[in-house]
Chain A
Amino acid sequence: MSITLTLLIPVATAILLLCIPKDKTAELRMTALFGSLATLAFSLALLGGFDAQTAGFQFTEKHEWVPSLHIHYHVGIDGISLFLVVLSALLTPIAILCSWKSVEKRVREFHIALLLLTSGVIGVFVALDLMLFYVFWEVMLIPMYLLVGIWGSTERIRAAVKFFIYTMAGSLLMFLAILYLYQHTGTFSVEDIYQKPLTGTAGLLCFLAFALSFAIKVPLFPVHTWLPDAHTEAPTAGSVILAGVLLKLGIYGFIRFAIPFFPEAAVLAAPWISVLAIIGIIFGALMCFVQEDMKRLIAYSSVSHMGFVVLGLFAFNEQGVQGCVLQMVNHGISTGALFLLIGAIYERRHTRRILDFGGLAPVAPRLAIIFFITTLSSIGLPFLNGFVGEFLILQGAYSRNVFYAAFAGLGIILGAVYMLTLYRRIFFGETDREENAEMKDLEGRELAFLLPLVGLMVFLGLFSPWFTAKIQPSIEQWLKLVQAGGG
């Protein structure tokens, strides 16, 4: 039960991969898979040892790193980061399995990038020192950037550059804010800064610098346009990690840093951000109506879904914030699964154009059923996970402002339209193309990573209190911080 081990295993596995000759692809894949499964096991051990009664950080480790600057290696987990760490660790073996056949170029480098990415994102979720956080934040961008740029599809360079411009723009401003914060408080320790929230104009400016960086990651309208490109061009594994984990980093950044560091500014900005989130919900959903590429459609649906998550967070009440944390996990599972399914289709047909499909239901029944359940999860049908998160978010938003819930609710209607239409266009109708009629159904390897996700959709849909009980104490404490500082 050590966070550091969970962080190090992927790195160690990556180093191990360097020692394996690069043409031994089977060995490379197996090694990477076992390394990622070990990471998952360690993260599950953290989950098992987690004390649901404690609001503060658990499993903390603190060592001096750069004493002259008061930088520490300081890590820990609370209810908010717990499931995000597990989700990150869960999606890595899945990403490796789904690339088993589709990635044939630079297999070794591919897995190294994936594993380093895992360490990077887990690092962001566990870092309790601002500088440590920033290092992880920047470091994890590199493998992600490489995944899109090297193993992506035809337009990969353009997408990678866009990803880079956006992210760098945000990071640099945030870095300036971090430095200012250090000057002001004399510490990089997250918990210490909580005790000295920055107020006034300086607080507002710093909040905006952090917020821009995180809003780009979420992504919040109108800084979302990198996402559809990055998603569309990324290999399946990249899309899964991108949707499943990377987008959550933005939300997590808001929760862990931007809001409690500058609660006054956050409360001031909340109505504006909520409105942007609602615009994003509706705008993202409308975008899905005109997409011809199924991957791009799902990417835009992420914009819509993440709008819900932001909306719940900025409701600043228990229902909204719990819904937000829960929905981050839900979105990771269902959108991750959607990208996996589209990846499976792409592997077989080498096209993602929706028009090229139709009538797949009788040809590939297993694919059709899993895709359908995932669709239902994505559109928030009760009994599955998406509903619980959306319900709590909307209840929270309703308590904040009735109109937030009413307008955001339009996204639920539009969501049903575009997802069910997508499903109809792919799976229903006559199987009129020969390539579709000959398509193979899902195989064992694919079921091995899809069925657990389906199981989680049902489990989270029916037994959400098991999750929220663990999240609750941390969120209560967090809300106190915000309320104390926000006035």
Chain B
Amino acid sequence: MDKLIFLIPLLPFLGFLVNGLLGRRLGDRAVAIIGCASVAGAFAISVSSFLQVYDAKPDTFLQQDFGAWIQAGDLSVSFGLVIDSLSGVMCLVVTGVGLLIHIYSTGYMKGDAGYYRFFAYLNLFMASMLVLVAADNIVLMFLGWEGVGLCSYLLIGFWYKGLANCSAGIKAFVVNRIGDLGFLLGIFAIWAVFDSFKFSDIVADAATKDSSAAFWICLLLFVGACGKSAQIPLYVWLPDAMAGPTPVSALIHAATMVTSGVYLLARLGPLFDAAPGVLTIVATIGALTALLAALIAFSQNDIKKVLAYSTVSQLGYMFLAAGMGAYSVAIFHVVTHAFFKALLFLGAGAVIHSLHHEQDMRRMGGLRRRLPWTFALYLIGGLALSGFPLTAGFFSKDEILHVAHSGLGNIGPRGVLWGIGLLTALFTAFYTFRQIALVFFGSYRGASEPQASEESAAHGLELDKVKESPLSMRIPLIVLAALSLTGGFLAIPHFLQPGIEIPEDGKISGLIIGGIVSIAGIAAALTIYLRFPQALKGFISSAPGKLAHRLSSRKFYVDEIYQKLIIRPIGIMAEICFYVVDRLIIDILLVHGSGFGASALGHLLRRLQDGRTPTYAAWFLAGAIVVLAVTLWAAGG
């Protein structure tokens, strides 16, 4: 199996090439088969590789090296892959969830004109993501990192006729690039300090290096992580990314790509341990992002936007864990989150599919009778996201809160961050069941004429025309639901971070508190939205309620602030540079008017310039020859 790990990224890449180059001629069926089969192959190899590293001692790994990619002097970057327990787990999640989403997409995208293009991009994404995960050095990881960013851009703007989709794609790419600059500078710093890009070298030497070096490297890398994993201040692209087809939102913008930042921190854990200052920043940013995104999720009306903000929020939890030095706990949440958030997104996709591309929750309601399967499965995902006792999200989230509460190793407890995390857990349960109440309970509101929503695609779809989605879309949901229910029983932390010692004290009470908070949030949401909607309306029309609602629904005006403080000034600067510096100062003042000599020359030339170019050319040639002759003669003398 050692010799086959290169196939994990290569198979999807071949799928991309075949589907991308020949897909148009192959027909949809063949495209779907190639797309799914390549990922299934990668999944199979991931499973067997994983079993091999899992069975053996904790520090075993598989690796392969295919020679140099970049080479200059003593700097060298190789095409090297490594599967150890960490990358093994990630490969499993990426290929496993990826496979389910590919299968789902065969039904969801049926009939779309860009069917082959969709699968080609999706396969390219899988290949890039697997390179990111399995790379044995940070530059190759960056290749995957940029590759997934590219696919994200392509898939957000998949329906390219809508310019808004394309703009959302560009926004995602550019905001990620801002983070990438940090990442790149971190890479340069790594080479300056470690003389190597290999993770194994960096991790081995991390403790021996000076702590300010570790601080700057980790801070820069964290900027990159903030971009890819949508943390404050770079989270703004992720909600807009929902413009892409829903399977994309599930795969890229929930389950896999956006967790890359967390993976980066886990991969370089010992280096971050050497930079406790950065860990504090990581944990704080994580907790604040979790809270901010949850507050925004309260008032969103788009079914996918709620999930998007909840993803941002859950990623915040992962960074909170990583910031405590509990990387394996963070990865645990990455895994469970991949299960239940993919389930939720695909479930939302099923709703959208059944409603003919309606995404506005104000035009849904009462769907549980017409879509019993979707409802049941969505409910499981919602429970897991809310951290309902014994679901996957319950265990992983409480592990994070527990670590924050009791501290880990050298890092003391962080009471404030724990409090924020707990509050966010309450909010999470609340907004999740607000969504479930709006979509599946109450009465159907989609048949009435379009009211407040301008972007709604469907115009008055009757309830009895709402139908369940095909089996190809339902089976992946069932698998994911099963994983969302049972995934919490995986003992990931100890397996991934053998040295980790999570204190036992207070673990049980933590679980109990977490369970109570979750149930309280769920109960509050269902009660308010199903029993007392008038009370809610009353609250929103009161002065403080109005302010709170406006802040939440306008996303705290962050986009507007960025627009005013960053984007607009850059535009103005560009105009000033062009008209004042380039045109006026350099061109007119310096080039055309720099003193008498130049203007005289210009005058002369203008006289020569009689419009007949050959004359002009002859003058030019003659001049050059004369100059040459005179100077040669002068040199000789």
Q: Is residue A129 within 8 Å, beta carbon to beta carbon, of the partner chain?
A: no
Query: Nearest chain-B residue to A182 (Cβ)?
Result: B635
Q: State which residues 147-174 of A face B: CB under 8 Å.
A: 149-150, 157, 161-162, 164-166, 169, 172
Residue of B nearest to A463 (CB): B69
Alpha-carbon separation in the docked complex, A439 to B60 (Å): 58
Residue B632 at the chain A interface, CB threshold 8 Å = yes
Contact A472 B72 (CB under 8 A): yes
Tell me the chain B residues, 610-637 only, with Cβ under 8 Å from chain A.
611, 613, 616-617, 620-621, 624, 627-628, 631-632, 634-636
Contact A165–B617 (Cβ < 8 Å): no
Q: Which of A283, A395, A476 contacts B581 (CB 8 A)?
A: A283
Q: Which residues of B156-186 have CB atoms within 8 Å of chain A's CB atoms? A: 157, 160-163, 166-167, 169-170, 173-174, 177-178, 180-181, 184-185
A388-B70 contact, Cβ under 8 Å, with A138-B624, A287-B574, A428-B161: yes
Q: A145 touching B73 by the CB < 8 A rule? A: no
Q: A226 vs B592: C-alpha distance in the bound complex, in angstroms?
A: 11
Q: Is B512 interfacial (CB 8 A cutoff)?
A: no
A412 at the interface (CB under 8 A from B): yes
Taking a contact as CB atoms under 8 Å apart, the answer to whether B70 and A68 are in contact is no
Query: Which residues of B are found within 8 Å of A388, using beta-carbon distances?
Result: 69-70
For B617, give its contact among A131, A138, A149, A179 (CB under 8 Å). Answer: A149
Asked if B609 contacts A428 (CB within 8 A), the reply is no
Are B177 and A416 neighbours in the complex by a CB distance under 8 Å?
Answer: yes
Please state if A225 and B598 are interface contacts (CB–CB under 8 Å).
no
Q: Which of A33-41, A120-128, A375-383, A440-448 contacts B (4 or more CB under 8 A)?
A: A375-383
Chain A residues, Cβ within 8 Å of B609: 157, 161
Return the contact of A464 from the options B71, B139, B167, B177 (Cβ within 8 A): B71
Identify the interface centre among B73, B167, B181: most chain A CB within 10 Å of its CB.
B73
**Set B72, B601, B627: member contacting A468, Cβ < 8 A:** B72
Are A412 and B578 in contact, with the CB atoms below 8 A?
no
State the CA gap A145–B608 with chains docked (Å): 15
Contacts of B69 in A (CB 8 A): 388, 462, 464-465
Selected A-B contacts with CB under 8 Å, 28 pairs: A161-B606, A166-B591, A179-B631, A182-B635, A225-B582, A225-B586, A289-B570, A318-B72, A376-B150, A382-B142, A382-B146, A388-B70, A391-B184, A395-B188, A398-B189, A402-B189, A406-B185, A410-B181, A413-B174, A417-B170, A420-B170, A420-B173, A421-B170, A428-B163, A428-B166, A462-B69, A464-B69, A465-B69
User: A286 on the interface (CB 8 Å rule)?
Assistant: yes
Q: Once bound together, how far apart are the Cα atoms of A182 and B636, in whole Å?
A: 10
Minimum CB–CB distance for B129 against chain A, Å: 14
CB of A348 within 8 Å of the partner chain? no
Answer whether residue B210 sits at the interface, using C-beta atoms and an 8 A cutoff.
no
Is A455 engaged at the interface, CB distance under 8 Å to the other chain?
no
Alpha-carbon distance between A410 and B185 when the two chains are bound, in angstroms: 11
B147 on the interface (CB 8 Å rule)? yes
Q: Is A413's CB under 8 angstroms from B139's CB?
A: no
What 10 additional pairs, Cβ within 8 angstroms, besides A165-B598, A179-B634, A318-B72? A66-B632, A69-B636, A142-B624, A222-B590, A382-B143, A406-B181, A409-B184, A424-B166, A429-B166, A462-B69
Closest to A141 in B: B624
Q: How far is the CA of A172 from the CA of B174 in the complex (A)?
A: 44
B155 to chain A, nearest CB (A): 14
Our pick among A165, A394, A416 for the contact of B591 (Cβ within 8 Å) is A165
1/0 contact trace for B284-327 toward A, CB 8 Å? 00000000000000000000000000000000000000000000
B613's partner among A131, A138, A149 (CB-CB below 8 A) is A149
Given contacts A319-B73, A391-B139, contact A409 B181 (CB under 8 A): yes
* Chain A minimum-CB-distance residue to B114: A362
Complex interface: chain A residues within 8 A of B627 (CB): 172, 175
- Interface residue A430 (Cβ < 8 Å from any Cβ of B): yes
Interface status of B577 (Cβ within 8 A of chain A): yes
**Residues from 50 to 75 in B contacting A, C-beta threshold 8 Å:** 67-75
Q: Does B561 contact A (CB under 8 A)?
A: no
B635:A430 contact, CB within 8 angstroms = no
Within 8 A of A (CB), among B63-116: 67-75
> B635 to chain A: which residues have CB within 8 Å?
69, 179, 182-183
Chain B contacts for A225, CB-based, 8 A: 582, 586-587, 591
In the complex, the answer to whether B181 meets A412 with C-beta atoms within 8 Å is yes
CA distance in complex: A164, B624 (Å) = 11
Report the nearest A residue to B573, measured CB to CB.
A286
Are A391 and B70 neighbours in the complex by a CB distance under 8 Å? Answer: yes
Contact with A along B115-143 (1 / 0, CB 8 A): 00000000000000000000000010011
Q: Is B194 interfacial (CB 8 A cutoff)?
A: no
> Is B575 engaged at the interface, CB distance under 8 Å to the other chain?
yes
Chain A residues with CB below 8 A from B591, complex form: 162, 165-166, 225-226
**Would you call A142 and B157 a contact (CB within 8 A)?**
no
Contact among B68, B571, B628 for A138, CB-based, below 8 A: B628
Q: In the complex, which residues 43-102 of chain A have their Cβ closer than 8 Å to any Cβ of chain B?
A: 66, 68-69
B536-586 with Cβ < 8 A to chain A: 570-571, 573-575, 577-578, 581-582, 586
A146 interface hit (Cβ, 8 Å): yes
- The distance in angstroms between the C-alpha atoms of A406 and B173, with both chains bound, is 19
Residues of A within 8 A of B185 (CB): 398, 402, 405-406, 409
With an 8 Å Cβ cutoff, the count of chain A residues facing the other chain is: 75
Which B residues lie within 8 Å of A357 (CB)? Answer: none
Q: Which residues of A does B touch, CB under 8 Å?
A: 66, 68-69, 131, 135, 138-139, 141-142, 145-146, 149-150, 157, 161-162, 164-166, 169, 172, 175, 179, 182-183, 222, 225-226, 283, 286-287, 289-290, 317-319, 322-323, 359, 361, 376, 381-383, 387-388, 391-392, 394-395, 398-399, 402, 405-406, 409-410, 412-413, 416-417, 420-421, 424, 427-430, 462, 464-465, 468-469, 472, 476
Which of the listed residues B70, B581, B634 has the most CB atoms from chain A within 10 Å of its own CB? B70
Is B26 located at the chain interface by the 8 A CB criterion?
Answer: no
Is B160 within 8 A of A146, CB to CB? no
**Which residues does chain B contribute within 8 Å of A175, judged by CB atoms?**
627, 631
Residues of A within 8 A of B613 (CB): 146, 149-150, 157
Max chain B C-beta neighbours (<10 A), residue from A161, A391, A469:
A391
When A395-B188, A398-B192 are in contact, do A417 and B174 touch as well, CB less than 8 Å? yes
Nearest 10 Cβ contacts at the A-B interface: A318-B73, A398-B188, A382-B143, A289-B574, A465-B71, A286-B574, A322-B72, A428-B160, A409-B181, A465-B68
User: Are A165 and B605 within 8 A (Cβ)?
Assistant: yes
Give the complex CA separation of A145 and B214 in angstroms.
54
How far does the Cβ of B217 sit from chain A's closest Cβ, in whole Å? 12
Cβ of B191 under 8 Å from chain A: yes
The reply to whether A464 and B188 contact each other, CB–CB distance below 8 Å, is no
Interchain CB contact under 8 A, A290 and B574: yes
Contacting residue for B586 out of A135, A164, A222, A406, CB 8 A: A222
| B233 proximal to A (CB < 8 A) | no
Residues on B with beta carbons closer than 8 Å to the beta carbon of A462: 69
Does A361 lie within 8 Å of B73, measured CB to CB? no
Of A135, A226, A383, A420, the contact of B628 (CB 8 Å cutoff): A135
Q: Quick one: closest B residue to A226, CB to CB?
A: B591
Tell me, in angstroms, the Cα distance from A405 to B216 when the chains sit together.
15
Q: Which of A162, A394, A406, A413 has the most CB of B within 10 A?
A: A413
How far is it, in angstroms, between the C-alpha of A417 and the C-alpha of B189 when the chains are bound? 26
* Cα of A142 to Cα of B582 in the assembled complex, Å: 26
Q: Which residues of B contact A142 (CB under 8 A)?
A: 617, 620-621, 624
Q: Write out the residue numbers on chain B whose beta carbons fall within 8 Å of the beta carbon of A383.
A: 143, 146-147
Quote the shortest CB–CB distance from B130 to chain A (angstroms): 14
Contact (A145, B582) CB under 8 Å given A399-B192, A409-B185: no
CB pair B601–A165 under 8 Å, yes or no, is yes
Instruction: Check A287 against B577 for contact (C-beta < 8 Å).
Output: yes
Measured between beta carbons, the chain A residues less than 8 angstroms from B160 are 361, 427-429
Return chain A residues, CB-CB under 8 Å to B139: 391
Q: Is the CB of A424 within 8 A of B181?
A: no
Cβ of B602 < 8 Å from any Cβ of A?
Answer: yes
Min Cβ gap A438→B in Å is 18
Name the B residues within 8 Å of A405 (CB-CB): 184-185, 188
